[in-house]
Amino acid sequence: MKAQILDGKKVAEEVRAAIKKEVDEIKSKGGHIPGLAVVLVGENPASKVYVGQKEKKCKEVGFNSFLHKLPASTTEGELLKLIETLNNDKAVDGILVQLPLPQQIDSDKILKAIDPSKDVDGFHPMNMGYLVAGLPAVHPCTPKGIMYLLDAYGIEIEGKHAVVVGRSNIVGKPIAHLLLDRNATVTICHSRTKDLGAITRQADIIVAAVGRPRMITGSMVKEGAVVVDVGINRLEEGLVGDVDFETVGDVASWITPVPGGVGPLTIAMLLKNTLEAGRKSER
């Protein structure tokens, strides 16, 4: 058996095309154009690449893009002042502060300062709380992208046993709750889990988001499981995921590649969250 590919790149292109079509219609009617403000503090090379990608995709779909580049010496107070300005700017529907921030700035304080309705990353404690409670909220982009990808390929979720490997606030915890909301039985594993393979071998769906290269191997996956690899690990041979693609691909029914799986959908869902925020601001 050879796993079929869950092509995140292809699905993300379809999402962006649908968003562009809606924005074009908004423009033709003289409506409110969604606006995304991205804040980059410092010169972190990876952050600069991510911000560049987000800005490029924003322009592709016709959004207004507001990039704020601040020096690494920026104080917490200065950044809070900028966020307050963006919160009050009606042209801005979404605010994204690129992490990590310099050590003199408390990331939690910054994320809490963003207006929850403009929190297109879905990291504000209010949005996280609503998600846990099963209430309408802005969902974090990567977990939202995973759910969108599974739905795009008609992967059945209800009644399935989903094992999430990783417990971060960015991926592990929110994806577990989104799967629960869709009536999956969810087990969360992490770095302290004993005999991880014994648990993952029970899974119909595995979401690997632990940040360890090729941690999930073929012997840890049952025949026919669906495997979603969120990991992005830079090794000498290039980018690899948390899943050993070759051995797992021999037993899984569906698998995401790295790159080209979950990654493209993260930015696509950021655009989708911004579009949805823009719709609300028009009401």
Measured from the Cβ of residue 36, the count of other Cβ atoms closer than 10 Å reads 28
Would you call 136 exposed, middle or buried from its count of C-beta atoms within 10 A (0-12, 13-18, 19+)? exposed
E-state strands within 118-267: 161-165, 185-189, 205-208, 226-229, 233-235, 238-240, 254-255
Residue 160 bears catalytic tag: no
Helix (H, G, I), strand (E, B) or coil at 162: strand
Phi, psi (degrees; rounded to nearest 5) at 170: -85, -40
Among candidate residues 57, 93, 98, 173, the one labeled active-site is 98
CB 179 within 8 A of CB 209: no
CB distance 63 to 35 below 8 Å = yes
Q: Are 141 and 267 in contact (CB under 8 A)?
A: yes
Query: Dihedral of the CA atoms 84, 88, 90, 93 (nearest 10)?
Result: 40
- Residues near 11 by Cβ (< 8 Å), separated by ≥ 6? 148, 149, 152, 264, 265, 268
Tokens describing residue 206: 């595995």
Q: Verify whether residue 250 is a known catalytic residue.
A: no
* 104 is annotated as an active-site residue: no
- For every residue of 119-137, DSSP letters joined together read -TT--SHHHHHHHHHT-S-
Active site residues: 54, 98, 121
